[in-house]
Structure 1
Amino acid sequence: MKMIEDYLKEKRNVHLEELFSFLSLESISALPEHKEDIQKTAEWLVQALTNAGLENASIYQTKGNPVVYADWLHAEGKPTVLVYGHYDVQPVDPLELWDTPPFSPEIRDEKLYARGASDDKGQVFMHIKAIEGILQTNGSLPVNIKFCIEGEEEVGSPTLPLFVEENKELLGADVIVISDTGMIEQGKPTICYGLRGLCGMEIHVKGPRSDLHSGLFGGAIQNPIAAISGLLASFHDQNGVIAVEGFYDRVTPLTPDEKEAFKALQISDDTFIEQTGSPTLFGEEGFSTLERLWVRPTLEINGIKGGFQGTGVKTVIPSEASAKITCRLVPAQDPEEIVALLEKHIEAHKPKGVDVTVQLFDKGTPFVTPFDHKAIQAAGKAYETVYKVPTSYTRGGGSIPIVAAFDQILNLPVVLMGFGLPDENFHAPNEHFHLENYDKGLQTICHYWFELAEVW
């Protein structure tokens, strides 16, 4: 391993220059005017993967942005790892808040500033250079490797699930590794082994044909804002428990080992009060804050609209009102089933005097790789070898739909081993990546491939 680490140190400046060229490509997937930049970035990756020693580096065209694939499959009898990442980035607005141009990479205070530095070009690049380092010093890899790098993650990966479905054999592997997540704080390596799923809807409440004078008609007809307020209030009891019948039926409890892992993080409630600015915390009774955030399902009201919104008073009974809600779901909960339960609840609690309709949003399935899976534990050991501290094991409160798609379509364990930090401004101006985690991350990835080969 020392030879590999020496190689990476020797080539550090050369590799950073290469990363600069990668980050300078304006691969913004949300803006159609960057289609050419997207293609150039895919071509850049094919060359970089080839130069690193990978084989069959190719661009696969899709109905959206291209997918880049490469492999090295000569480790007979060893596991095959599918490394997923994305080369597209978020838009840069507001541009005036950047201290330096977003596509002109710059190092300041041992941090690399550029759009995509942390999310996800920097982390994808580390995987490529880890492979290069091992091949240049060892001549072969301890495991078989496949890369799948897409260009639409920042717009929801609309075409990737179909690509995966149509290319199951090409992408077949024993484990999927994704470095598009982060560590809970500086110096604390973190593996996220589960993510919540997602479903949501917009509820529309329709009353009179048009807004009415509240003096002429008040007291004689149902007010849509009052109606939707009562409907929304029916979703929870006063202790934060979701009151939709059957909502919790498939929720599985944490294992004792998981509970201990959460306690070992030693994150106090004061931390979340400070982060949110809320006067106090509130949530489902009987569970810790981390459990509420990571392993309990939620139902949140994200927006409500209706009536007069201008300055002063306009005495009307509004014609309609609406609200948007989303649910974060935990493993074993089915988004389709939860939507059906919500619709049943809405029908049962439908206020008198109004019509109620719903419009569904996109859905994502939750996923979890067992906490004690050998691929997870090998990743934890690799982190600890490099960072010299115990690895933290967490679940994510958010949702990454493509992770669940990989889990469902390929039926493989997913290892989320990221190297970003919460304060690195991904999706915001002045995005950056700590070079300490770039250096240690390279070493960790290299250690991981050898650890995985030993335990599989």
Structure 2
Amino acid sequence: MFTSELSMAGLERARGSAFKTRLAQLIAQKTDAQTENAPQWAASYFDLISQWLAPLSFTLEQHGVPGAPFLIARRIEDPVLPTVLTYSHGDVVPGMEGDWAEGRDPWTLTEAGEHWFGRGIADNKGQFLVNLTAVETVLAERHALGFNLIWLIEMGEEIGSPGLAEICMLQAKALKADVLLASDGPRVAAETPTLFLGARGGMTFRLDLEHRESGRHSGNFGGALRNPAIELAHALTSIVDRNGGLQIDAWTPGHIPDATRAALKTITPAGGAVDEDWGVAGLTPAERIHAWSSAEVLALHAGHPPAPVNAIPPKASAWVQLRYAPGTRSEGLLEALRTHLDEAGFSDVTITPEGPSFRASATPVDHQAVKRLSGVIEAESGQPPAILPSLGGSLPNDIFREVLGLPTIWVPHSYPECSQHAPNEHLPKRLLFEATGLMAAILGSFAGTKPEDWH
């Protein structure tokens, strides 16, 4: 697969016992951002990785706002060299103990066949370790990186990255760089090196419709009394049609640029495990996920589902999540939903934003930094990478793109079937090993370049 000594050295380093030992140490850190012990685990996690970064001549500083700790690690070889900002998050979703197959403990690295299991191995601890090992490889082989590297690590990505934008504004000078190169999310397939250049934005809205304080007998009142569950169902079908197509124009980018269509032409999302006839007509599945907007109903509630009774429910609720593509106006999304429902005759449905939100943003697919790194990957792997204009999910890409003004390039080291955010999170060992070799070559390609080569 690999052609350079640097990539082969990275591959071999990842296959060593130290990589597995470190991965087990990372997974053993119960860094669930939603627990009351999150601050203590954040401190423990920073202590652990600082032991690995300090010997590599990184200067380490912890910053934060209340409840949102950050670690900034900086290795500056020469101010005239290109500067790369990379990013990782050490927090994870809840472990979901007891739900893992074969009684696996989510906080223990477990080997089964060709896979390693553990909470955070895919999102994002394993990807962090790949990149750290690649940095160590370049230093071991060349005794210098040939560029400056700044590493920003947060502990709240899974709860919406609180404080990240503020830290980037407050520490803009310390984080000044020429390009963001980071790793998160999945490849399009395990065997396909992938670049993605941004992320769809995300917002969740709770819709409520309440007509009375209590239920009414479904026989004595049925057919003559408004049923909020039925009405809310119709409200939802005004947002998304029966084929999954989004019906609110203001929630979409309006068009897909030609360069974006060209980049997605050969992409098959999730190995083809999608419904070809679902979504906006006239778009390919890849375009629907990576270049268009979608709205999904996450949950519905009315009555008493565990044991329905013969009563018209007094109220109904639904949770609708919007994932919107770059090019969509981020301002006025709530107002657009309100206007849409009012015009459709559902003015009595109340709307409440819930949970974290992310803004959509992306680097153009024809940016020179994208072309450079794409060429490196093709030379090393023997195949051109899949280039996604944006990840289907949401990341704080907008903070790096808009607050820090950087071109953003993500090189994911996971794959669609990894079960992130679910029991049985895992990665193939081979993917981790090969990703380390590939990342070593990518990092090595910055040596000998100028800062303006990445703008």
TM-score normalised over the length of structure 1: 0.87
2:94 is the counterpart of 1:60: no
Aligned twin of 2:388: 394
- Residues 386-438 of structure 1, C-alpha deviations (whole Å, 9 max, x = no match): 32222111245533242222222112111110111222333333333333232
* C-alpha contact (below 8 Å) 1:27/1:89 kept by paired residues: yes
Q: 1:45 aligns with which of 44, 49, 52?
A: 49
Aligned twin of 1:410: 404
Q: After superposition, where does 1:260-299 map in structure 2 within 5 Å?
A: 260-265=262-267, 271-273=273-275, 281-299=277-295
* C-alpha contact (below 8 Å) 2:326/2:361 kept by paired residues: yes
* C-alpha contact (below 8 Å) 1:19/1:125 kept by paired residues: yes
Question: How far apart are 1:84 and its partner, in Å?
Answer: 0.1
Stretch moving more, 305-314 or 37-46: 305-314
Aligned twin of 1:254: 257
CA distance in 2, matches of 1:31, 1:69: 23
Unaligned runs of 5+ in 2: none
Question: Which secondary structure does the structure 1 equivalent of 2:445 belong to?
Answer: helix
CA distance in 2, matches of 1:157, 1:59: 16
Aligned-residue sequence identity (percent) comes to 24
* C-alpha contact (below 8 Å) 1:45/1:68 kept by paired residues: no
CA distance in 1, matches of 2:149, 2:358: 27
Aligned AA for 1:347?
A: D
Which structure would you say has the larger Rg? 1
Question: Which secondary structure does the structure 1 equivalent of 2:84 belong to?
Answer: strand
Unaligned runs of 5+ in 1: 274-279
2:36 is the counterpart of 1:32: yes
2:348 is the counterpart of 1:355: yes
Question: How far apart are 1:448 and its partner, in Å?
Answer: 1.5
Aligned twin of 1:419: 413
Question: Which secondary structure does the structure 2 equivalent of 1:272 belong to?
Answer: coil
Aligned twin of 1:385: 379
Question: Which secondary structure does the structure 2 equivalent of 1:234 belong to?
Answer: helix
Question: How far apart are 1:48 and its partner, in Å?
Answer: 0.7
Question: How far apart are 1:371 and its partner, in Å?
Answer: 0.7
Q: After superposition, where does 1:303-342 map in structure 2 within 5 Å?
A: 303-309=299-305, 311=307, 314=310, 316-342=311-337
CA distance 1:384–1:226, change in 2 (3 Å): same
Aligned AA for 1:327?
A: L
CA distance 1:439–1:208, change in 2 (3 Å): closer
2:79 is the counterpart of 1:86: no
Question: How far apart are 1:343 and its partner, in Å?
Answer: 0.5
Question: How far apart are 1:115 and its partner, in Å?
Answer: 2.4
2:132 is the counterpart of 1:128: yes
CA distance in 1, matches of 2:203, 2:358: 6
CA distance in 2, matches of 1:363, 1:46: 30
CA distance in 2, matches of 1:451, 1:189: 16
Aligned twin of 2:229: 225
CA distance 1:363–1:24, change in 2 (3 Å): closer
CA distance in 2, matches of 1:284, 1:333: 16
Aligned twin of 1:372: 366
Question: How far apart are 1:138 and its partner, in Å?
Answer: 1.9
2:22 is the counterpart of 1:18: yes
Question: How far apart are 1:205 and its partner, in Å?
Answer: 1.6
* C-alpha contact (below 8 Å) 2:199/2:360 kept by paired residues: yes
CA distance 1:266–1:23, change in 2 (3 Å): closer
CA distance in 1, matches of 2:172, 2:344: 45
Aligned AA for 1:226?
A: I
Q: After superposition, where does 1:71-150 map in structure 2 within 5 Å?
A: 71-95=74-98, 97-99=100-102, 100-150=104-154
Which structure has more RCO (C-alpha within 8 Å, separation ≥ 6)?
2
How many residues align? The count is 444
Question: How far apart are 1:112 and its partner, in Å?
Answer: 3.1
2:181 is the counterpart of 1:177: yes
Aligned twin of 1:155: 159
CA distance 1:303–1:434, change in 2 (3 Å): closer
Aligned AA for 1:359?
A: T
- Residues 45-98 of structure 1, C-alpha deviations (whole Å, 9 max, x = no match): 1121112x1321232243124212111122443321111001222322233625
CA distance in 2, matches of 1:72, 1:43: 18
Question: Which secondary structure does the structure 2 equivalent of 1:287 belong to?
Answer: coil
* C-alpha contact (below 8 Å) 2:6/2:444 kept by paired residues: no
Aligned AA for 1:421?
A: Y
Please give the root-mean-square deviation of Cα atoms over the aligned residues, in Å.
2.8
